[in-house]
Amino acid sequence: MMNSKFLLTALLLILLAFPASAKEVFYNVLDFGARGDGKTNNTKAINAAIAAAAKNGGGTVYFPAGNFLSFTIRMKSKITLHLDQGAVLIGDQEVNGVGYDLPEEDAWYKKFQDFGHSYWRNSLIYGDSLRDISITGQGMIWGKGLYTFDKPNIKGSGNKAIGFINCFNVTIKDISILHGGHFCILATGVDNLTIDNVRADADRDAFDIDCCKNVRVSNCNINSPTDDGLCLKSSFGLGYAKATENVTITNCHVYGYDHGTLMDGIFKTDFKDEAPNANHSITGRLKLGTESNGGFKNIAVSNCVFEHSRGICIETADGGLIEDVVIDNITMRDVTDTPFFIRLNARMRGPEGTPVGVCRRITLSNINVYDVGGRPKFPEVGACMVMGIPGHYIEDLTLSNIRIYFRAGASKEAIDKEVPQNIDVYPDPYRWHSLPAYGMYFRYVKNLRVSDVVLRYLNRDERPAFVLDDVHDANFYNVDAQKGDGASQFILKNVTNFSTHQVNGVADTKVEKEEKKEL
C-alpha cells in the first residue's frame, strides 16, 4: 500500500509538469467586464477576451451561465468559444445604426448569389481566413435581434448567427441555436469542417455548407419550417467556382414543425393541410443546391430521419457537376411534397459562357417513406421527380430497396396535363403542381436502375406508378407498385432499351424503342 509521502511526491511532480500559464487556458468573459444579465451589451468585453487569448497563442473563451447580449463577435485563429450549460449568447437588436459589423463591400460577383451568400461580417459570430477554431458547450446561441430577410438599408443589422469564410479546421459541437436569422450557420470555403450534436431551431436555413471540402455533419437535430434545413451549396460567393466535396452527413433528424418547438420539445404545428400553399410553406429538407456553380462531389448521407418536412433535393442549376452521391438508410414521415427531387436545369446564374452542368452516378437506397404529398389543395403533388432538360440527361441513377406510401388521390385527368420544362427558372418541386404519375416521374434520364421498390397509395389514384419520358437504358426489377382498376403501371414516351423483370401487373418486358406505350 502506498504511503502518504509517496502520494504527495507524485502529486507535486504532476503539478510541476504543467506551466503556470496553464491556469490562463480559460478566459472567462466575466473577467473582461461582461455581464450575463440580459441587459448589458457585451460586444467589447467578449472581443477583448478573444484578443487576449489570441495574443497568448490561443485558448478557450468561456461563457458561464447567464444571458449575454452582443453584436458581432470577431473570432481569431486557435480560439474556442465555450458556452457552458445555462449560458445564452443573445444577438442584440441594433439601435440608431449601432449594431453588427457592416457587411463586406460589394464585389463584382455579388449578382450571382442571394444577399445572404455575399456577406459574412454582419453575423453574430464571424471569422475570415482563420484556422483551428471551435464553438462548443451545452449552452445556446439565440439570434433574437437577427433578421431573417435581407436588410441592407438598415445600418448595423445582423443577418446570421455564425458566418465563416475561407477557414480551416472548424468545429461546432454540442451547442443549440435558436432563431439564427437568415442562416444559423453559413460556412463558405471552409475546409475540414465538423458539425456534431448541434440542435438548430431555425427561422430560415439551419446549416448552409457552401464551397466546403472535407465536411462531417453528425448527430444533429434540425427544425426549419420555412426554409432549407441542411443545405449543401456551391455558390460563386468566393469569387470563383469551388466544389463542395467529400461530405458525410449521418444520424441527423430534420423537421418542419413550428419555430421554437424543437427547442422546447413539443414539436407542434398550427399549420393546416388546407392552407392555400401548404406544399410550399413547410420546408425543412436536405438539399444539394440551388446555388451550384462549383458542383458537388463525393457526398454520402446515411441514417437520417425526416418528419413533417420535405425530403431530399439534388439540384444543379448553375453549371456545376453533381457526381458520386450516395444516400442510404433514410426514413421519412409526413412529407409535404416529394421524397426526392433530382433536377438538372439551366438557370445559369454565373459568369457568361459557363456550360450547363452534369448530374451522374447517384445512388438512393434503403429508404422508407410514409404519408407523402397529396394535400387537399394539390392531390397531384407527391411523386418522386427526376428531371433533366432537352439535350442534358441525368445519368447513372440507381434506386434500390425503397418503400413509399403516398397520400395521392388524383383522377385520370392528371395524366394528360402538360408537365412544364421550367428550364431556366429556380428549380423546386412546387413549380410542378401536377404530374402524370403518382409514384415516380422520370424525364431526360440515361442508365436508370430501379430495383426492390414498393409503392402504395392511401387514397384512390388513377394515374400510373411510373412515367418515363425521353429515358434511355432503364431496367426495373422486383417492383411491387399498387395500381387502380384500369390504370397502367407504366407510361413510356420516347424510350429506348427499357426492360422489366418481376414487376407486378406487367409481364417481363423488353422494349428496344417506343414512342408511346402503356404497360
Nearest to 91 by CA among 148, 136, 167, 150: 148
Contact predicate 343/387, CB 8 Å: yes
Nearest to 158 by CA among 149, 148, 146: 146
Helical (H) or strand (E) element with 15: helix 4-16
Residue 379 has a pLDDT of 77
**Above 70 in pLDDT, residue 482?**
yes
SS3 237: coil
Measured CA angle at 187 (ends 149, 88), to 5 deg: 70
Domain ranges for the chain, please list them: 108-518
Residue with cell 427561422: 203
The single-letter code of the amino acid at 129 is: S
Q: Kindly state the cell numbers that stand for 235.
A: 455558390
**Above 60 in pLDDT, residue 4?**
no
Measured CA angle at 480 (ends 373, 477), to 5 deg: 115
Residue 272 has a pLDDT of 55
Band (150; pLDDT cuts 50, 70, 90): confident
Max Cα–Cα distance, the chain, nearest Å: 93
Band (1; pLDDT cuts 50, 70, 90): very low
Nearest to 148 by CA among 160, 140, 163, 156: 160
**Above 90 in pLDDT, residue 30?**
yes
Band (136; pLDDT cuts 50, 70, 90): very high
Out of 376-385, 440-449, 461-470, least confident range: 376-385
Measured CA angle at 363 (ends 362, 367), to 5 deg: 135
Band (331; pLDDT cuts 50, 70, 90): very high
Contact predicate 404/339, CB 8 Å: yes
Contact predicate 158/91, CB 8 Å: yes
- Over residues 153-199, the pLDDT tens digits come to 899 999 999 999 999 999 999 999 999 999 999 999 999 999 999 99
Range 108-518 has CATH code 2.160.20: yes
- Over residues 351-400, the pLDDT tens digits come to 999 999 999 999 999 999 999 998 777 778 899 999 999 999 999 999 99
